Amino acid sequence: MVVHRARIDFDNLQSERKYDRLDATYSQSKLADLIFAIELQRRLSGAGSTIISTSARPGLAITNIFANATGFFRIFLSVLTRLLAQDAALGALPTLFAATSPDVEPGGYYGPNGSSERKGYPAPARIPSAATDEAVAKRLWAETERLTGTVFAPLSQATTD
């Protein structure tokens, strides 16, 4: 699972200084998504809000993302995905579960319940320790505000207005 190998590189947050291989860049973005969702829940809870933040991962789903692969790589992906992956419809289930199920937990993270969380039906997913570091979360939140030019109102104000 890419998010478990990831780390946030604040000196190269948008790959503007160095573009690591796709896997490292993609992994960092997935970890940042998870950190942001957990931090949002922390802020919602702190403001006494009943709104919840959840996140999800599709596992390894067969989509058209590799539609233009050629040669050996296309054959390799074809065999590999049939053994380890699930179809796109099953890959969408964790997101639907996180968004609609009455069983989700505030700050919950959901993904496939199968081997290595690559395929299967929605279930709570393992949250890497890197995603729960509050100092990193606060810094990522601040960087998001800086990079987007948007300062998010304190939730205590946003939930009472």
Active site residues: 26
39: left (phi over 0), alpha (psi -120 to 50) or beta: alpha
Of 100, 3, 138, nearest to 57 by C-alpha is 3
| Pairing label, strands 86-87, 61-62 | parallel
d(C-alpha 96, C-alpha 161), whole Å: 29
Q: Which residue type sits at 139?
A: R
